[in-house]
Amino acid sequence: MTQAAKIAPQSHPLAGKKMTGSQIIMQVLADEGVGAIFGYSGGAILPTYDAIMTFNEDQKANGGRQIPLIVPANEQGAGFMAAGYARASGKVGVCMVTSGPGATNTVTPVRDCMADSVPIVVICGQVPTAAIGTDAFQEAPVAALMGSLAKHVFLVTDPARLETTLRTAFEIARTGRPGPVVIDVPKDVQNWHGTFEGTGRLSIPGYRHRLAEVDANALQDEQAAAFFQLLAEARRPLIYAGGGVINGEASAALNEFVHAFDIPVVTTLMGIGAVDTTDPLSMHMLGMHGTAYANYAVEDCDFLIAVGARFDDRVAGDPKKFAAGARRIAQLDVDRAEINKVKAVHWHHVGRLAEALRALTAAGRRSGFRPDFAPWQTDLAALKRRHAMNYNRGSELVQPHYVIEEINRIAKGEAIISTGVGQHQMWAAQMFDFRGPRLWLTSGSMGTMGFGLPAAIGAQVANPGKLVIDIDGDASIRMNIGELETATTYDLPIKVVVLNNFGDGMVKQWQKLFFKGRLSGSDKSLHKKDFVKAAQADGFQYAKRLDRKQDVPAVIAEFLAFKGPAFLEVIIDADAGVYPMVGPGQGYDAMITGDYIPSRERRADGELDPSSMF
């Protein structure tokens, strides 16, 4: 046997077999290691739904790996389940829907995934090729709709290119800066009979060239030397880590770098878990609702090192004031477009974050770099003590912070926490511990209410042995409350907590602060929803309401210990607010810390312009 024969890749065992387009779809999903399909059927996707069943029957008969199908209450739920699966596992999530309304119902999850760099593949059925553009029944222009929202969109009109298109979609979704890819597959393409090749991808030279450039852009010795020159001149360095660290599987490399040189870390909302929040070097979340001590650390630092973070408006409300005391800023990112986009930086590197961080760590160790940042760490420890998270502990009403503290005491930073969007989301981000990455699932850039419950379902499917908790709000969970039944249908032991303050809590907080207390459209105290009865109707064997402060520890322990799906509604203090808070477009010197967290600075005078809200 020649050397060439030894290294030649083995052909696919099914190569050359005649299959329908739908069977090809299923085989490619299997080849890509897809662990579950989240989706809702309909006329234009029926051939592929039939192929799911026959594929799994064949796998079962032959002892092969089946791909479970999880059917939600609606397609938006399917998209967020795929997103939760992807966020919690690091794998590509798959959503499969029909044409028309099935496809349009996934618009929000697709945009959400694009905004937070989450890899999913959405397979949409489409009307037959000849009917496209005729306003046929349940037709929607998916390529046009999704083109501005997704990382990429394919419309498969040549069935011979179906297999290569599918493989390429997964490649695009998971590589570079991850994101959602949509494949629109007409019904006649699904029914087509052709030969399965078992290999091959589309020619996308521009994309692959850009990826190759990033891959090849290894950190050079002179770059590392320049970085350590800046670090040597610093007395108060601070790492500002974003979601790119987690998306790029760079958490381990970041932690090694952090501890090699004892550099403290703040994280964005999306970067939570990149560094263990219980680590002494962790200063927790910065930004609009970040901890006071994290924001003060940013103000005090003299060298800011941004890693996989993009200086977005929720962090750098006023870019000129953000880290204004930093004499130098460094930035590492996989996306060249993020460099110097918001803040001018003095040193940067575009490339794979894990590789770049490991190279920096190695270079620093080789050079014998041993900084003494002990005084800075002492200062930060004092900030943590003086400006610690706090709330009205003496109130007779149930405070949301107390509920989260009790859950956290039992979960110990090991649970997967998903959230909806609103006050409960920020309380969860502030109060929970996260011992590692992919334990925190939330809609960041889009801020999509209704995300928490379906995302928790996707995360539980990806991690069947883990404790998964959805921390939700009464307004947010209403958006996708139909997915309660999905959890019980598949006997997924997720724990759903609804912090009920009878309305859109975050909106009410802003209305009280900036609109003279006019609660336009946000007060839901007259709504009739009985959440416990709704959960019971959807099959939850454990469904309780908690409204007494003295019952919190016992009920939380009982709730989390329940073996199956469990639902807990907590009636919280309707006036509990999220603090700290930095108004949009303002600097951290204008941070409002509320009544229970000491502030070291007087808030800037003047009201915000209501047009800048949110």
Count of domains in the chain?
A: 3
pTM equals: 0.94
Same domain for 429 and 379: no
Same domain for 358 and 277: yes
Same domain for 161 and 103: yes
Q: Is 355 exposed, middle or buried (0-12, 13-18, 19+ CB in 10 A)?
A: middle
pLDDT at 401: 98
- What does the pLDDT average to over 450-475? 97
**Considering the chain, what is the average pLDDT of its residues?**
94
Which pLDDT band, with edges at 50, 70 and 90, does 507 fall under?
A: confident
Same domain for 415 and 378: no
Q: Does 97 reside within a domain? A: yes
pLDDT at 511: 84
Which pLDDT band, with edges at 50, 70 and 90, does 5 fall under?
A: very low
pLDDT at 572: 97
Strands 193-195 and 18-20: antiparallel
CATH of the domain at 27: 3.40.50.970
Same domain for 258 and 201: no
Residues 6+ apart with CB under 8 A from 288: 314, 315, 317, 581, 582, 584
CATH of the domain at 380: 3.40.50.1220
Strands 93-97 and 37-39: parallel
Report, in angstroms and rounded to the nearest whole number, the Rg of the chain calculated over CA atoms.
Answer: 25
List Cα–Cα distances, 532 to 337, 375, 496, 546, 597, in angstroms.
48, 52, 11, 10, 34
**Would the pLDDT of 172 be above 80?**
yes
Of 213, 238, 273, the last residue of a domain is: 213
Same domain for 232 and 197: no
Same domain for 208 and 236: no
Of 186, 213, 240, the last residue of a domain is: 213
pLDDT at 614: 53
Same domain for 188 and 93: yes
Same domain for 254 and 124: no
Which pLDDT band, with edges at 50, 70 and 90, does 199 fall under?
A: very high
Q: Does 557 reside within a domain? A: yes
Q: Quick one: the chain helix, strand, coil %, rounded to 5? A: 40, 15, 45
**In b/e form, how buried is each residue of 360-386, taking b as 16+ CB within 10 angstroms?**
bbebbeeeeeebebeebbebbeebbee
Q: How many helices (H) and strands (E) does the chain have?
A: 24, 20
Q: Does 608 reside within a domain? A: no
Residues annotated catalytic, as ranges: 75, 137-138, 187, 506
- What does the pLDDT average to over 436-453? 96
Which pLDDT band, with edges at 50, 70 and 90, does 426 fall under?
A: very high
Q: Does 612 reside within a domain? A: no
Which pLDDT band, with edges at 50, 70 and 90, does 9 fall under?
A: low
226 lies in which domain range? 217-386
The residue with tokens 């575009």 is 350
List the one residue out of 407, 309, 335 whose CA is nearest residue 151.
335
Residues 6+ apart with CB under 8 A from 388: 293, 597
Q: Does 583 reside within a domain? A: no
- What does the pLDDT average to over 245-258? 97
**Would the pLDDT of 603 be above 60?**
no
Q: Does 4 reside within a domain? A: no
Q: Does 534 reside within a domain? A: yes
pLDDT at 611: 43
Same domain for 260 and 131: no
Same domain for 169 and 34: yes
Q: Does 585 reside within a domain? A: no
Share above pLDDT 90 across residues of the chain, in percent, rounded to a whole number:
91
Q: Which two tokens stand for residue 430?
A: 């502030």
Q: By the 8 A CB rule, do 78 and 117 touch? A: no
Same domain for 494 and 381: no
How far apart (Å, rounded) are the C-alpha atoms in residues 36 and 92?
Answer: 10
